[in-house]
């Protein structure tokens, strides 16, 4: 009996032990999970004091599993009965309390015996093995790992006490309905923040540094708070103004008087903000309406405005197609409403007018009369017709309310010079005031070309006439020189002088006449010569000379003193020329300094471009090349004659930027971009640029630097003024302001050309932009008088002026050396693309990797085309060819033809580079200052490259300015060297 009981109790204890293990693991898992939950809760959501207090209670929950599933004796007996089939209920006879009083003791004994025999053979450990449940263990291990990694290192559970509530640092107090309000709050302890209003909670954006903000759309006035959970700010009041709208609108149409019709009324209750008004042009519209709020103000391009309480009224006249806006504001000035009338006037068709005779043009004869036949017509009635020419106007009689008229008359023309043309127009006006201008008739006097039987004869005549004048001028100059060397001026000599001076005056007057007469001639050869004469005549020194001459002639005072005065004028001219020569030396120096500056700027730009790319071998190679370029620049700066530049170079060397660029390039090959090194390099390069710019400004002299700044300011003024009239109503005033702006810009242009010539301190592209702006403004000044021009047209002028200002303060364009070096870079890249393509031939698309490579090569090719395009118009055809090749590569069209095209492009690039390098070498060889030689007749070379075009034009102009003949060739030669 005892053996059986012992067996059962042993089984029971083992089962109890197994239960305790399982529940302990589960409880431990629960305990750690609850702990983890609180850690996370505390970290992300923060805990209040109350939550902190209930934390221990929640830990008790983890003991709940121990309340369930504890094993007992009956369960153990059941278990044994099920496990050992041979027992078949015997245990129930043996184990208390199952045996009943009526059970036979004999049976019980027998059962005990049999049970003991069966159980003896059984192994308790096998029957109830003790094991640890794997699923409980896994959960526990995972939780412990999470705790170890994320939570325990950060200090475990600890209450983050929030000591102060958040504060609203800024909040819009008043907004309109549907408008967003800005609310900014501060809390150094909270990690998240919500805006709390009547409309719920909205999360605010964390700006960092304990600041939060939101643009909240709140519909109704309410009190707002910011906060998170129990931590809340004080309440702030946000007032939302109701929207203003119109409940009723009445329109009254008052048609033009000449229609003789009654008023028309229209009442609108349900309408949009935009109302279409279609009526006869000239109709007056009276509007009156009622709004939902008491009104405070009414504004717009309207007349007769009035407001009273919720009522408002006003009027306007239909003129052009467009929009008239009426702005209503409520009495609290917090809400407004814009009522838009879209005007689509039905036009009273303008009259028509035309000349039946003559058609288009009429050549004046000796009588100077023009016979005219004129016809005019209108759909309603004509009110007047007239003729206009020059500033004259002739009214023609029209029968009252006539729809049609025809008139013939003869016009007498006076004071028309050969080559001049008079434009004659007819104007018809109808009762509505519509005016129509007829096509013009051009009435002209034959030009000089026509007067001469053959144009070529005229051309040759003028040329020989000019040549003759030049010879005579030389003779007169010689004569005056002779008079000056004579010791005494006797009567005879005075007569000779008188005669000579008269000849000189006649000559100059002859030149003036010739200039006037030949103004109309379009031959570039002649007009070039005439321009030169005009410039000569307009020169202030020549004018002074002529004035002195006239004075002497009028007063008949040909004394030695006066002749000496004339000679002094000559000496002044020579002094000016000397100064001019000195300025040339100075210009050369400036050119060299500008060259260094623009190279330094280019290096900085390239540095930024390289570091914006991905770090790889290709970018590393570019960086290495850039370091070499920088080294060359510093070497050239050290060779420079100027001490200041040498000093800048030596200071820069101390920064070890070139070495830093080398190490950056090394890192790039490993795919690393060292941000700190990049920042240092860029900073050093920026400082280098600033030092060079400063040196140039100092070398240029304070006056010129000041002049450039002054012109920049003036251009800014033109821009601001132009911008301010964009929204002005079209009309004469607007047109005249635009014209004034154009004239002012023209003067700035002229003055800036002188500054440029003296300083060469900015890009000559400034003039291209100014000219562009002037051309547009010229056209606009006329258009703006008559009509509203698109905003974009006005803004295009702004764009040109903006570019002019930006270029005025920028470095001059890079020289041929930079051009050649940039071209060399492009050639190398083009070569690498060709090599890459060569390796892929003949079937690039079969291999997916090759397909990817082809894509990358096509992208490189496109980038190269863009780079080449930036180098000037001269490279545009090559750049287009490259773009075309990139297109082909993108489409996967890689064949022999493409490789041949690549080769041709490369050849052309190499030729271009060679040409630039040779030009550079010859320029260096010959650019020694102060050596004047007298070669034969020289002319400026045409092919100077795009970037020097403006410089060349200006210098050519300066060459054409008057100075003594003996210096002419030397100065021309010097200029030629300078701009080569």
Partner 1 sequence: MIYLIIPFLFAVKDLDSKNIKKYSPEERRKITVELIRQKNYDAAMSFSPDQNLTGCIKILKDQVNEGIEDIKESAEKGNIFSLDLYILLNLNVDRADLKNYIRNELSIFPDSTFSYQSPFVRYLTCDPESLYTQNLPADSVLFPYIIFQSGMINLEKDPEKTKKYFKILIDDYPNSIPAIIARNTLSSL
**By the criterion CB under 8 A, which residues form the site for partner 1?**
29-30, 33, 36-37, 40, 44-45, 139, 142-143, 146, 169-170, 180, 182, 184, 192, 203, 205-209, 211, 213, 215, 686, 690, 709-710, 712-714, 716-721, 723-724, 728, 731-733, 736-737, 739-741, 743-744, 747-748, 795, 798-799, 802-803, 805-806, 809
> Which residues are within 8 A (CB) of 719 and not within 5 positions of it... i.e. 6 or more apart?
798, 801, 802, 805
CB of 168 to partner 1, least distance (A): 12
SS3 852: helix
SS3 559: coil
Residue 80 or 719 with smaller CB distance to partner 1: 719
Residue 29 or 594 with smaller CB distance to partner 1: 29
Residue 183 or 318 with smaller CB distance to partner 1: 183
Residue 794 or 916 with smaller CB distance to partner 1: 794
Instruction: Classify the phi-psi angles of 727: left when phi > 0, otherwise alpha if psi is within -120 to 50, otherwise beta.
Output: alpha
Sheet holding 311-317, edge to edge: 264-268, 246-254, 284-291, 311-317, 303-308
CB of 44 to partner 1, least distance (A): 4
CB of 207 to partner 1, least distance (A): 4
How far is Cα 753 from Cα 775, in angstroms, rounded to an integer? 18
Token readout for 879 is 């750049």
How far is Cα 292 from Cα 248, in angstroms, rounded to an integer? 9
In this structure, how many other beta carbons lie within 10 angstroms of the beta carbon of residue 518? 21
Token readout for 823 is 């071209």
Evaluate the CA torsion angle 590, 595, 600, 604 in order and state its sign: positive
CB of 240 to partner 1, least distance (A): 17
CB of 30 to partner 1, least distance (A): 8
641 touches 628 (CB < 8 A): no
| HEC assignment per residue over 794-808 | HHHHHHHHHHHHHHH
Residue 743 or 973 with smaller CB distance to partner 1: 743
CA of residue 540 relative to chain centroid, distance: 44
> Which residues are within 8 A (CB) of 475 and not within 5 positions of it... i.e. 6 or more apart?
none
Residue 146 or 757 with smaller CB distance to partner 1: 146
Token readout for 639 is 């060779």
How far is Cα 530 from Cα 514, in angstroms, rounded to an integer? 8
Residue 371 or 731 with smaller CB distance to partner 1: 731
- CA distances (Å), 574 to each of 967, 968, 976, in order? 9, 12, 21
Residue 80 or 770 with smaller CB distance to partner 1: 770
Q: Where would I find the H helices in 41-166?
A: 49-60, 73-83, 90-94, 105-120, 124-127, 134-146
Residue 556 or 870 with smaller CB distance to partner 1: 870
Q: Which of 389, 311, 323, 319 has the alpha carbon at shortest distance from 348?
A: 319
In this structure, how many other beta carbons lie within 10 angstroms of the beta carbon of residue 70? 12
CB of 236 to partner 1, least distance (A): 15
CB of 770 to partner 1, least distance (A): 13
CB of 660 to partner 1, least distance (A): 18
Residue 442 or 782 with smaller CB distance to partner 1: 782
Token readout for 128 is 């109830």
Residue 416 or 806 with smaller CB distance to partner 1: 806
CB of 855 to partner 1, least distance (A): 30
Q: What is the DSSP string of 946-972?
A: GGGHHHHHHHHHHHTS---HHHHHHHH
CB of 184 to partner 1, least distance (A): 6
In this structure, how many other beta carbons lie within 10 angstroms of the beta carbon of residue 762? 23
- CA distances (Å), 144 to each of 41, 133, 140, 668, 843, in order? 17, 17, 6, 43, 59
Token readout for 210 is 């304990």
CB of 209 to partner 1, least distance (A): 6
CB of 612 to partner 1, least distance (A): 13
CB of 154 to partner 1, least distance (A): 14
Residue 143 or 868 with smaller CB distance to partner 1: 143
CB of 65 to partner 1, least distance (A): 13
Residue 31 or 326 with smaller CB distance to partner 1: 31
Residue 203 or 968 with smaller CB distance to partner 1: 203
Evaluate the CA torsion angle 352, 353, 358, 364 in order and state its sign: negative
């Amino acid at each position: 009996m005892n053996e059986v009981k012992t067996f059962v109790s042993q089984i029971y204890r083992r089962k109890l032990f197994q239960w305790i293990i399982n529940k302990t693991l589960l409880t431990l898992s629960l305990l750690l999970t609850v702990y983890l939950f609180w850690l996370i809760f505390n970290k992300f959501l923060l805990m209040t004091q109350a939550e902190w207090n209930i934390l221990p209670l929640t830990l008790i929950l983890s003991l709940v599993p121990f309340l369930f599933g504890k094993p007992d004796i009956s369960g153990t007996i059941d278990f044994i009965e099920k496990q050992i089939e041979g027992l078949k209920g015997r245990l129930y006879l043996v184990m208390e309390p199952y045996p009943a009083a009526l059970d036979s003791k004999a049976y019980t004994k027998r059962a005990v015996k049999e049970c003991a025999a069966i159980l003896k053979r059984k192994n308790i450990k096998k029957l109830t093995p003790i094991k640890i449940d794997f699923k409980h263990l896994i959960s526990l291990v995972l939780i412990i790992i999470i705790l170890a990694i994320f939570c325990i290192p950060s200090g475990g559970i600890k209450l983050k006490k929030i000591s102060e509530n958040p504060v609203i640092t800024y909040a819009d107090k008043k907004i309109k309905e549907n408008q967003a309000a800005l609310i900014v709050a501060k809390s150094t302890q909270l990690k998240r923040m919500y805006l709390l209003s009547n409309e719920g909670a909205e999360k605010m954006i964390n700006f960092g540094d304990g600041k939060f903000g939101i643009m909240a759309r709140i519909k109704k006035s309410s009190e707002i708070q910011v906060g998170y959970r129990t931590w809340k700010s004080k309440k702030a009041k946000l007032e939302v103004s109701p929207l203003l709208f119109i409940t009723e609108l009445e329109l009254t149409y008052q048609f033009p008087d000449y229609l003789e019709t009654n008023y028309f009324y229209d009442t609108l209750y349900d309408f949009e903000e935009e109302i279409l008004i279609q009526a006869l042009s000239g109709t007056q519209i009276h509007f009156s309406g009622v709004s939902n709020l008491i009104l405070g103000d009414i504004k717009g391009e309207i007349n007769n405005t009035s407001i009273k309480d919720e009522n408002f009224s006003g009027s306007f006249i239909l003129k052009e197609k467009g929009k008239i806006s009426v702005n209503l504001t409520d009495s609290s000035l917090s809400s407004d409403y814009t009522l838009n009338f879209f005007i689509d006037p039905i036009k009273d068709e303008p009259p028509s007018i035309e000349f039946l005779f003559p058609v288009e043009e009429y050549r004046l004869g000796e009588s100077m009369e023009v016979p005219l036949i004129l016809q005019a017509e209108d759909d309603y009635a004509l009110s007047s017709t007239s003729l206009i020419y020059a500033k004259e106007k002739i009214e023609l009689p029209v029968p009252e309310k006539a729809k049609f008229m025809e008139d013939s008359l003869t016009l007498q023309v006076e004071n028309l010079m050969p080559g001049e043309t008079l434009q004659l127009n007819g104007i018809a006006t109808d009762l509505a005031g519509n005016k129509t201008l007829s096509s013009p008739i051009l009435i002209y006097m034959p030009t000089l070309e026509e007067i001469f039987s053959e144009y070529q004869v005229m051309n040759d005549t003028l040329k020989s006439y000019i040549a003759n004048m030049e010879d005579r001028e030389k003779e007169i100059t010689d004569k005056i020189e002779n008079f000056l060397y004579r010791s005494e001026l006797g009567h005879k000599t005075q007569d000779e002088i008188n005669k000579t001076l008269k000849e000189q005056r006649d000559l100059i007057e002859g030149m003036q006449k010739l200039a006037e007469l030949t103004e109309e001639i379009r031959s570039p050869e002649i007009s070039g010569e005439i321009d030169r004469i005009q410039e000569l005549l307009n020169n202030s020194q020549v004018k002074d000379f002529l004035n002195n001459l006239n004075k002497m002639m009028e007063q008949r005072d040909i004394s030695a003193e006066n002749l000496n005065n004339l000679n002094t004028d000559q000496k002044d001219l020579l002094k000016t020329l000397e100064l001019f020569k000195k300025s040339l030396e100075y210009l050369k120096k400036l050119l060299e300094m500008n060259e260094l500056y623009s190279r330094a700027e280019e290096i900085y730009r390239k540095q930024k471009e390289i570091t914006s790319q991905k770090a790889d071998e290709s970018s590393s190679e570019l960086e290495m090349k850039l370091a070499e370029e920088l080294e060359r620049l510093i070497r050239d700066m050290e060779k420079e004659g100027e001490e200041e530049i040498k000093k800048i170079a030596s200071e820069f060397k101390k920064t070890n930027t070139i070495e830093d660029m080398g190490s950056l390039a090394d890192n790039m090959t490993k795919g690393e971009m060292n941000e700190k090194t990049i920042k240092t390099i860029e900073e050093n390069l920026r400082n280098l640029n600033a030092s060079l710019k400063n040196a140039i400004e100092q070398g240029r002299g304070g006056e010129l630097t000041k002049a450039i700044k002054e012109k920049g300011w003036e251009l800014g003024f033109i821009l601001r003024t132009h911008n301010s009239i964009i929204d002005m109503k079209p009309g004469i005033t607007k047109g005249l302001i635009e014209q004034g702006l154009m004239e002012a810009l023209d003067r700035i242009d002229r003055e800036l050309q002188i500054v440029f010539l003296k300083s060469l301190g900015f890009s000559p592209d400034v003039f291209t932009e100014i000219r562009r702006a002037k051309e547009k403004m010229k056209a606009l000044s006329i258009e703006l008088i008559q009509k509203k021009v698109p905003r974009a047209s006005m803004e295009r002028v702004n764009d040109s002026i903006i570019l002019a200002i930006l270029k005025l303060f920028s470095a001059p364009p890079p020289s041929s050396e930079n051009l050649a070096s940039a071209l060399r870079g492009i050639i190398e890249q083009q070569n690498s693309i060709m090599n890459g393509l060569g390796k892929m031939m003949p079937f690039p698309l079969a291999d997916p990797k090759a397909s990817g490579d082809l894509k990358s090569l096509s992208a490189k090719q496109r980038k190269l085309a863009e780079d080449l395009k930036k180098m000037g118009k001269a490279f545009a055809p090559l750049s287009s060819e490259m773009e075309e090749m990139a297109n082909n590569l993108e489409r996967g069209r890689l064949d022999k033809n493409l490789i041949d095209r690549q080769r041709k492009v490369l050849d052309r690039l190499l030729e271009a580079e060679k040409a630039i390098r040779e030009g550079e070498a010859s320029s260096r060889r010959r650019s020694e200052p102060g050596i004047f030689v007298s070669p034969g007749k020289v002319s400026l070379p045409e092919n100077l490259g795009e970037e020097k075009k403006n410089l060349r034009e200006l210098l050519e102009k300066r060459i054409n300015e008057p100075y003594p003949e003996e210096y002419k060739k030397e100065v021309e030669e010097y200029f030629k060297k300078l701009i080569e």
